[in-house]
Amino acid sequence: MKGERMGEFEELVLLCVRQLGDDAHGAALQSLLAERGNREVTLGAIYAALDRAQRKGLADSWLGEPTATRGGRAKRHYAVTPEGEEALRESRRIRELLWSEAEPVRP
């Protein structure tokens, strides 16, 4: 059932969260996905993926300290939960297994 599994985009977003550590927030995730993933995505798409990941228990979030550069508003930061780490490892294991067993396509 798709609702219980991690989708490809959620996986990419969680990998970016993992890479950014304590600096994982919407704009930083958007920038990293554009730079490393060669994917231009909206903040709305990122937040939707993070919301799905949180509902599945794969990610957690908290509000940082308010900053003057944001007009006194706080950034929402994200982290991968232990369940999210396990889901990422399992996804990687399955992909590597399938790649290792895949025959090259011959013309």
pLDDT at 3: 58
pLDDT at 104: 78
User: Residue 103 half-sphere exposure, CB side, CA atoms within 13 Å?
Assistant: 3
What letter does residue 25 receive in the DSSP assignment? Answer: B
Contact 76, 29 (CB under 8 A): no
What letter does residue 92 receive in the DSSP assignment? Answer: H
Residue 24 burial by Cβ neighbours in a 10 Å radius (0-12, 13-18, 19+): buried
Walking along the chain (107 residues) 10 residues at a time, the average pLDDT comes out as: 76 97 94 93 96 96 80 88 96 93 79
For residue 7 the two structure tokens come to 């989708």
pLDDT at 1: 37
What fold, for 7-101? Arc Repressor Mutant, subunit A (1.10.10)
For residue 42 the two structure tokens come to 């909206």
pLDDT at 81: 97
Contact 4, 59 (CB under 8 A): no
Q: For the chain, what are the domain ranges?
A: 7-101
Contact 79, 5 (CB under 8 A): no
Q: Could you tell me the pTM of the whole model? A: 0.85
